[in-house]
Amino acid sequence: MADADTSRLCVQIVRSHFGPLAANVASALLTRGRLSLAQLIRYTMMKPRSVRAAILVLVQHNILWHSNTDEEGEMLEFNTLECLMRLRFGRFVWQAEQLFGPSGAEIVQLILDHGKLQPPDIISQLSIYNPKSAELPSHPQLLLMRHPGSSLYSQTLYKLVSGAYLKPSTLLSHNSPRDKRIKYEAEEKAKLTGFPTAKELREAMETAEARLKREEEEAESVGLKRKPKDHRSTKRKAIEEDMVDDVVYFRVNFDRFNTYIRNKLIETAVGERFNRSAALVMRATLKSTEAKQKSISDTRSDPTSTAAIAMLISDDENLSGLVTSTKKPSSASLVKDYLGLMSAIDNPTPAGRASSFINLSNNKVYVEFGIIGSRLRRHVLEAVARERHGDDGVRIVRLLLDIGKMDEKQIAKVAMMPNNVVRPLLAALSSDFLISTQEVPRSADRNPTRTFYLWHVDLHKAYSTLLGHLYKTLYNIGMRRQAEQEEPTVKAVLEKRERTDVAQDESLLSRMERDVLKEWETKQEKLTVLEMRVEEAVFILRDLDTVGSNEDS
């Protein structure tokens, strides 16, 4: 089950998107864990018809998992991550418009509004509002240039499916992966004989995880099918093409859109670390492998070359920030210099590798997503430590991250700080869960007077605590937005603006009403900007926590 802050945020999101009845069902599942339909009816004290309708809506939008077990029967479970992803829906639609134009944004928005849809439903629904895009092109050459499908929406839908921006909604995606993982782990552990070692147990868990991932990939491999061959043309050999399968339900692939958020964060980090020219080179490096970036769980990008990166940089861009000579160097040589700078090629040490952004190997360029993600999370941790405990707190956190476990006297000596300053600072950092203690007893009775207390940074614990605080902040932002909107003066002006005559001509509002409306819109804009900044920190701490990242332990 989710913690209290996460549960409150999820209930708030469900209430704002689906209303109070669905929020009541979500609250019961988040508070009590997985429940059956009869238990939900009893705990929510709602009519069975209302509970069923709320469950259908939440399942349609992929927020509820359901499973059948021999012991418990059909059970329902809340999908917390899917619910929290709804905070990024606006960004997903904006990204789709940047990539595929207004038609791509309309398709993504329609699917997000309905949870999952079949291609005929998508085309028919959008063609109602824009019938011209559903017309056949007048010239036959335009028809040949298009992908399968006679409309602009069909062409854009094909691009979204083939580019993995939309993925099929399968039966496996509606079942809790935890049940499958537990089942597969039990099957792998049953194959072991005797007392299994820690290595064997870890290998069994990895095998079960790989098996689950393989099943998900096989289930999501549908979506495209071969277009029937046209036997009327005998002069030219028929070209086999793919087309979108009309019987498959499609949903938005959040991982694919999250790669663009990650790439933008990496580009910003490079610009802050070096300069704007280095950020341009990093943008071109990421764009050269953009088509193969399907998930943010990758620890390293696919290989690319310096020539491919240089081709993606415009000739108008000035990359001569590293050169002071009067002779203008070539763009390829500047790109190579920037790649060497970002790979820390002049510092072939563990510290240099930990501070690098890319890796140069056999004339190939790789972007180190795992190392960058680890460093970005450390920056968030250090920023929180600086905000709450000042520069001295950051110094202690960095010292423990670099060296490891240390006692109080060692910290004071190495950090060059007096003991009367270090002791309360360690207690304050520990109360915020930024650092932790490790007890090392010198005797079997574990007497506190004969025990060493070593301080260290438990990254998993620290990140989890910070993530909980960020969820609480997002909840408070939502409550503040709701309170501002329900203020009597603002509420009266908003209700008046919804009138048909006022909506067409806002000059019917008085000067005082326009001032109230302008002040409310300014507050809403500030709250939205704050929400985006907090959500960016959530993305770094939660979504960039990739498997195999190079973290200090």
d(CA 146, CA 141): 9
Q: What is the pLDDT of residue 553?
A: 42
Q: What is the DSSP letter of 304?
A: B
Rounded to the nearest 10 degrees, the angle between the axes of helix 177-190 and helix 198-219 is 130
Whether 397 contacts 435, CB under 8 Å = yes
| Strands 64-69 vs 73-78: parallel, antiparallel or unpaired | antiparallel
| Main-chain dihedrals φ then ψ at residue 355, nearest 5 degrees | -100, 5
Rounded to the nearest 10 degrees, the angle between the axes of helix 119-129 and helix 89-114 is 110
d(CA 194, CA 200): 11
Q: What is the DSSP letter of 520?
A: H
pLDDT tens per residue, range 328-373: 777 788 888 888 888 887 777 888 888 888 988 888 889 999 999 9
Q: What is the pLDDT of residue 547?
A: 42
- Of 176, 169, 161, 171, the C-alpha closest to 256 is 161
Q: Where are the domains of the chain?
A: 4-78, 88-129+148-226, 256-367, 388-457, 462-544
Q: Which residues contact 203 (CB under 8 A, 6 or more apart)?
A: none
Stated length of the chain: 553
d(CA 250, CA 244): 10
Q: Measured between alpha carbons, how far apart are the two ends of the chain, in Å?
A: 27
Q: What is the pLDDT of residue 26?
A: 94
Residues in the chain predicted with pLDDT less than 50, given as ranges, are 134-150, 233-239, 547-553
Rounded to the nearest 10 degrees, the angle between the axes of helix 20-32 and helix 37-44 is 110
CATH architecture for the domain at 388-457: Orthogonal Bundle (1.10)
Q: What is the pLDDT of residue 182?
A: 83
- Of 363, 359, 364, 307, the C-alpha closest to 332 is 307
Q: Which two tokens stand for residue 269?
A: 């980090």
Q: What is the pLDDT of residue 11?
A: 95
d(CA 275, CA 463): 29
Q: Which residues contact 409 (CB under 8 A, 6 or more apart)?
A: 419
Q: Which class does domain 4-78 fall in? A: mainly alpha
Residue 544: strand, helix, or coil = coil
Q: What is the pLDDT of residue 321?
A: 66
- DSSP string spanning 139-179? SHHHHHHSPSSSSHHHHHHHHHHHTTSEEE--SGGGS-HHH
Q: How many CA atoms lie within 13 A of 403 on its CB side?
A: 16
Partners of 455 in beta bridges: 406, 437
Whether 10 contacts 80, CB under 8 Å = yes
- DSSP string spanning 413-442? HHHT--HHHHHHHHHHHHHTTSSEEEEEES
| Strands 364-367 vs 242-244: parallel, antiparallel or unpaired | unpaired
- DSSP string spanning 87-98? GGHHHHHHHHHH
Helix extents (H) in 298-362: 306-311, 331-342, 350-354
Q: How many CA atoms lie within 13 A of 425 on its CB side?
A: 22
Topology adopted by domain 256-367: Arc Repressor Mutant, subunit A (1.10.10)
Q: What is the pLDDT of residue 201?
A: 86
pLDDT tens per residue, range 183-237: 888 888 888 888 888 888 888 888 888 888 887 777 777 766 666 655 554 444 4
How many CB atoms lie under 10 A from the CB of residue 79?
Answer: 21
Whether 270 contacts 342, CB under 8 Å = yes
Q: Which helix (H) or strand (E) holds 358?
A: strand 358-361
**Domains 256-367 and 388-457 alike in fold:** yes
CA distances, 74 to each of 65, 70, 162, 175 (Å): 10, 9, 35, 11
Whether 464 contacts 431, CB under 8 Å = no
Q: What is the pLDDT of residue 140?
A: 36
Q: Which two tokens stand for residue 279?
A: 């950020």
Residue carrying the six token digits 């950020």? 279
Residue 1: strand, helix, or coil = coil
- The whole model's pTM is what? 0.86
Partners of 367 in beta bridges: 358
Residue 454: strand, helix, or coil = strand
